[in-house]
Structure 1
């Protein structure tokens, strides 16, 4: 039986009106989910490691290049999710990774400031699809109350990777002079090459959807497909009354996504934590260094923050899935970050400030999978979910640009933003010459 024939057989079983959950009662769902986890999570975790956005870079501390990145990064997230749905995850996700790996490598070879800005613009285009693509991809495998902990694995992997990437970049910087290239250039070149290699592996390892998953039996595929198709139904609904989620793309579904008030409400919630999230993720070593610590010590002090935040994110996600609630944990995370930031601004003690950053980060990081999952749980239809999650992340990430500009405003004393930007641009311009 060919791959297409197997997919048709799975669809026929899942759509059969005589089929119900009782039909698959002999299958162990926990065992089946573990089987899926072992196939999907490791590769998705590796993809999270490659995200360059959250890793501190010497060159990237220029605000204009950050802004150039965010314009294209936010603009292409919704279109990317639509392409992913119409193409295939195993093709689209590795393809955009190859693209941004090449761009990152070329960033290590730029000769001018204009070249840096151009590279950042194209990096935004290439990287835009990974984050919304992976979180949407997870919803095509897991039901509403299984999904947050899987989303948390992805976010936590990115968080922990951010902790150690600074140390890695610091080590690579000692290659300064090798091949007549500056150390910072080798950071981009080597990590760009690594990203391309991971992407090539992903072409062969990533699985598209349950219907075509060769590591599952036909019956297991049909079971996963069936439970996802009717995931938004009450368990007491009779088989004859079940309404499947829509799978077709139409203008109506696109308009429905843009008009859905709950998507825009979740965008506002997203703004509440993503602004400080980007500020911490991108400038944490600098913030700690300004407390009086050496560069190497500052890099090491970021590790406990990221690791602890990652662990808490997974624990909260597990509890949220078990309790089947989202909003209390989001509210708790927002309050926690507020407490942390109040500690930071109310003292001049480095120890207390560090503790405040620690607490704030733990609150911020657990909010993201909670908020993403909360919205996805309330969007029926795979295409509307793809577009809706893309809107939430793309419009929500605009607040990330605000977080990036925060230390520029502070450096300018709140009134000299233009001069501060010129100073940063001059520094970056000197480095690429």
Structure 2
């Protein structure tokens, strides 16, 4: 416990300290060559990404397993009618959204190991409670608290990743982390199929067992999370002193001498930045089909003419394909340091997938459409998160901007709750068409942002060539600390 308290003091000092004045272009130290840097990054990856992915897998599973529970007579047992099921889906998101910016501020004010453990324990308790509800109002109440506590995880972990990796390295790591959502979809279908056999055990219905058992799994992981989450590079026990210094040096070099202070003015900088609102819309248009997919895919497949048990199992392959392309797409985007072109490519694939679902009544064509739709929609989120976070300068502004982006994304979750209505079944042509419209909007906004970032980089290159080549004075650096990504040397990823 003493060592943990010492770590807390060191982490707080690191989180609130100013960034040293190192040239933003000087990323590799002479003593750390390419091979040594790759070895260091692999070490970070093994100690950070697997556990973060596990937490998000459980989070996404707990948030969306209601779609699997629906096939095991949840609506019948709770006497849900009309849009009441959709209301139970939607009620989670306003509270999820409201929690995001305060949660990221708490991540910076406290420590990741404390904050993430706290919210995970309580959302797991809410999940278990959801298994014992007896009415519509009880289900609504548990979904509210689930949203409150789950809301901080996704923006928090994305912000956490930016505290360990340089900007062009974050996309692949965010994809590895977000791929857990696709695995949650696959794992959820298999798990729900097995739990269905427990129907009636101890007088509890199968849908209740889905919530209870998956909540117990999450709460067990939360009990060890505090010791598995490393706060900041300055206090990471798995790194040697030399490695800790190198990780911090790389981050300082990547972000320049921009401020790392905790000051509310950087929150307001993010709130007043129009570019972040464009990314919020792109993220909303990405999350809307993802949540629609996660919440309704078992129902869509069942309505193709398959049994409930077969539909649970057939929901697995689209997620497996999505997982592969989510990781591969972000890996290539990191390699060439571009995001927009990959986003637009996947958006076109998503439009193809939903087009097949809307345009054909043949089960094989429809099922192929679900595969293409999954491949197209899931990679958009880590690509978009890495694009936005990499284009925001300054630690607190970046944390706020990431939370804002996820807030926009989860507005898509509210819409997704009403995209597929029972009255539109079994083909759900209206729902598929709505999602085609959202993804098309994302395509044009992505094209706009990619074009603007390229033109702005050209403008700043021209200004830099015309400006003096003299190094900045200490006074000029202090003034630039507060400018975030508006400093003349900052270049946007296109």
Whether TM exceeds 0.5 here: the answer is yes
- CA change 1:5–1:222 in 2 (3 A) is farther
How far apart are residue 176 of structure 1 and its match? Answer: 2.1
Q: Does 1:258 align with 2:259?
A: no
Equivalent residue, structure 1, for 2:321: 308
Equivalent residue, structure 2, for 1:54: 64
Q: Does 1:35 align with 2:48?
A: no
How far apart are residue 63 of structure 1 and its match? Answer: 1.0
Equivalent residue, structure 2, for 1:431: none
CA contact (8 A) 2:186 2:316 kept: yes
How far apart are residue 227 of structure 1 and its match? Answer: 1.1
How far apart are residue 16 of structure 1 and its match? Answer: 7.8
Q: 1:73 aligns with which of 83, 91, 96?
A: 96
Equivalent residue, structure 1, for 2:410: 397
Structure 2 Cα separation of the partners of residues 276 and 4 of structure 1: 40
- CA change 1:3–1:101 in 2 (3 A) is closer
Kindly report which structure 2 residues correspond to 1:270-349, keeping only aligned pairs within 5 A, or say none: 270-349=283-362
Structure 1 unaligned residues grouped into runs of 5+: 233-242, 415-433
CA contact (8 A) 2:27 2:250 kept: no
- CA change 1:382–1:17 in 2 (3 A) is closer
Structure 2 Cα separation of the partners of residues 6 and 402 of structure 1: 43
Q: 1:411 aligns with which of 421, 424, 436?
A: 424
CA contact (8 A) 1:10 1:211 kept: no
Secondary structure of the residue aligned to 2:167 is coil
Structure 2 Cα separation of the partners of residues 4 and 407 of structure 1: 47
How far apart are residue 14 of structure 1 and its match? Answer: 7.9
Q: 1:124 aligns with which of 125, 141, 147?
A: 147
Runs of at least 4 residues off by over 6 Å: 4-14, 16-20
Q: 1:185 aligns with which of 201, 208, 226?
A: 208
Structure 2 unaligned residues grouped into runs of 5+: 76-83, 429-494
Structure 2 Cα separation of the partners of residues 9 and 161 of structure 1: 34
Equivalent residue, structure 2, for 1:196: 219
Structure 1 Cα separation of the partners of residues 102 and 41 of structure 2: 30
Per the normalisation by structure 1, the TM-score is: 0.87
Structure 1 Cα separation of the partners of residues 15 and 281 of structure 2: 40
CA contact (8 A) 1:97 1:127 kept: yes
Q: Does 1:22 align with 2:45?
A: no
Secondary structure of the residue aligned to 1:406 is coil
Equivalent residue, structure 1, for 2:372: 359
Kindly report the root-mean-square deviation, in angstroms, between the aligned alpha carbons of the 2 structures.
2.6
Equivalent residue, structure 2, for 1:101: 124
Equivalent residue, structure 2, for 1:368: 381
Alpha-carbon deviations, 1:79-102, whole Å to 9, x = none?
111111111111111110100111
Per the normalisation by structure 2, the TM-score is: 0.77
Alpha-carbon deviations, 1:34-90, whole Å to 9, x = none?
111111122112112211123333248811111211110111111111111111111
Alpha-carbon deviations, 1:82-132, whole Å to 9, x = none?
111111111111110100111111111123321111111111001101111
- CA change 1:115–1:214 in 2 (3 A) is same
Q: 1:212 aligns with which of 235, 244, 255?
A: 235
Q: 1:171 aligns with which of 170, 186, 194?
A: 194
